[in-house]
């Protein structure tokens, strides 16, 4: 009997379940059920028991749990039954891309407790210590006719991630163009979307959208990595969050995104602009003639950043690095 089967029964129940009911559902003895429940308790699961009622889960488990996360999602969620949790991967995006190439279904969600080679945009490394962050990638195959729609997906994911963080923790995170979440002027989350094309036709095949959210890092952790002046975590800013709760909120918002994409572009653009902390700031960016500086004045219909350059030119920035000054 899989321990995950007992965990799934507990996580999916609204109240108490008797040992007899659980043993019947799993086709095992009550003693076998009790043994697995005790093992879950030793792992920190808050399981309450009553002589007359049986067992119930009093709250989320302390560490990421695929059965618990799956049980909290609606049955018609794109990610229902396709949530995977690994203790260690090189990168959730890298691993999920390999799984996609091997035929993994759309809606596969991969979470890791730690990444040994977390990646950000432009090949930058992403600090991913065990237990301090939430590292999640999802596999999407949106039904699209325009490549231009796919190229806006990073902006959409930024909106979904920001909503999920606020729902789960109460933190009023903002979006730094294009693919970071900021809190109190420091980086809280990085987002990386990667598009794969079919070899023969050149048509879009799938998208892997990944994110790493800082949950519990301390000031000392960031300072030891030379990041104390630019990075922060939810706990450090006074918004501690339960990792399973955050994972559920992220998958719920991403499920909504898939249903909305691309028809509700204007709604997501409005939300993106409302929470974009880059707007109104002086920025440095790469122009046609080299590095430029100016003021970020807007976000266009394709999520490109509009900047008024100090040289008098107007710029629409769709890629590259933009630094706030």
Please indicate, yes or no, whether residues 210 and 247 belong to a single structural domain of this protein.
yes
Q: What is the domain count for the chain?
A: 3
Measured CA distances, 50 to 18, 38, 323 (Å) = 9, 14, 57
Measured CA distances, 49 to 41, 52, 59, 321 (Å) = 11, 9, 13, 54
Please indicate, yes or no, whether residues 148 and 16 belong to a single structural domain of this protein.
no
DSSP string, 15-36: S-B-HHHHHHHHTS-HHHHHHH
226: left (phi over 0), alpha (psi -120 to 50) or beta: left
Please indicate, yes or no, whether residues 250 and 212 belong to a single structural domain of this protein.
yes
What's the full length of the chain, in residues?
325
- Of 205, 200, 201, 164, the C-alpha closest to 181 is 164
Please indicate, yes or no, whether residues 89 and 26 belong to a single structural domain of this protein.
no
CATH of the domain at 37: 1.10.10.10
The mean predicted confidence, pLDDT, of the chain is: 93
pLDDT digits (tens, 9 = 90+) for 243-292: 999 999 999 999 999 999 999 999 999 999 999 999 999 999 998 788 99
Quick one: pLDDT at residue 125?
57
Please indicate, yes or no, whether residues 286 and 235 belong to a single structural domain of this protein.
no
User: Does the bond joining 262 to the residue before it have cis omega, within 30 degrees of 0?
Assistant: yes
Please indicate, yes or no, whether residues 196 and 156 belong to a single structural domain of this protein.
yes
Please indicate, yes or no, whether residues 160 and 210 belong to a single structural domain of this protein.
yes
Instruction: Indicate the residue among 57, 76, 100 that finishes a domain.
Output: 57
DSSP string, 184-236: TTEEEEEEEEEEEE-TTT--EEEEEEEEEEE-S--HHHHHHTT-TTTB--TTT
Please indicate, yes or no, whether residues 187 and 267 belong to a single structural domain of this protein.
yes
162: left (phi over 0), alpha (psi -120 to 50) or beta: alpha
Distance CA 128, CA 132 (A): 7
Quick one: pLDDT at residue 55?
97
Quick one: pLDDT at residue 127?
58
Question: Which is higher by pLDDT, 299 or 145?
Answer: 299
Please indicate, yes or no, whether residues 73 and 51 belong to a single structural domain of this protein.
no
Quick one: pLDDT at residue 322?
96
Please indicate, yes or no, whether residues 24 and 41 belong to a single structural domain of this protein.
yes
Please indicate, yes or no, whether residues 163 and 225 belong to a single structural domain of this protein.
yes
Quick one: pLDDT at residue 116?
86
Work out the end-to-end distance of the chain between its first and last CA atoms, rounded to an integer number of angstroms: 57
pLDDT digits (tens, 9 = 90+) for 171-225: 999 999 999 999 999 999 999 999 999 877 788 899 999 999 999 999 999 999 8
Residue span of the structural domain in which 316 resides: 282-324
pLDDT digits (tens, 9 = 90+) for 61-83: 999 999 999 999 999 999 999 99
* Whole-number percent of the chain with pLDDT over 90: 84
Please indicate, yes or no, whether residues 53 and 75 belong to a single structural domain of this protein.
no
């Amino acid at each position: 009997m899989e321990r995950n089967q007992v965990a799934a029964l507990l996580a999916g129940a609204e109240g108490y379940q008797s040992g007899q009911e659980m043993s019947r559902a799993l086709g095992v003895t009550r003693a076998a059920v009790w043994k697995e429940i005790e093992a879950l308790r030793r792992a920190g699961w808050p399981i309450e028991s009553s002589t007359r009622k049986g067992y119930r889960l009093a709250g989320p488990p302390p560490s990421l749990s695929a059965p618990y996360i799956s049980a909290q999602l609606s049955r018609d969620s794109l990610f229902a039954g396709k949530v995977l949790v690994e203790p260690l991967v090189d990168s959730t995006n890298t691993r999920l891309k390999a799984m996609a190439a091997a035929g993994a279904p759309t809606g596969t969600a991969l979470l890791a407790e730690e990444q040994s080679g977390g990646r950000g945009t432009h090949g930058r490394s992403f600090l991913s210590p065990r237990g301090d962050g939430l590292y999640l990638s999802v596999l999407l195959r949106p039904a699209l006719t325009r490549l231009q729609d796919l190229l806006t997906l990073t902006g959409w994911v930024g909106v979904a991630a920001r909503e999920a963080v606020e729902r789960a923790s109460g933190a009023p995170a903002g979006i730094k163009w294009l693919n970071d979440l900021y809190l109190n002027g420091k980086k809280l989350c990085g987002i990386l979307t990667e598009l794969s094309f079919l070899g023969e036709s050149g048509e879009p095949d799938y998208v892997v959208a990944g994110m790493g959210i800082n949950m519990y890092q301390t000031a000392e952790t960031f300072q030891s990595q030379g990041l104390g002046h630019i990075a922060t975590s939810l706990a450090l800013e006074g918004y501690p969050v339960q990792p399973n709760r955050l994972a559920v909120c992220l998958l719920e918002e991403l499920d909504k995104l898939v249903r909305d994409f691309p028809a509700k572009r204007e709604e997501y653009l409005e939300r993106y602009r409302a929470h974009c902390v880059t707007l109104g700031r002086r920025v440095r960016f790469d122009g046609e003639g080299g590095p430029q500086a100016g003021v970020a004045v807007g976000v266009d219909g394709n999520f490109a950043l509009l900047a008024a350059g100090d040289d008098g030119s107007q710029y629409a920035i769709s890629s590259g690095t933009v630094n706030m000054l």
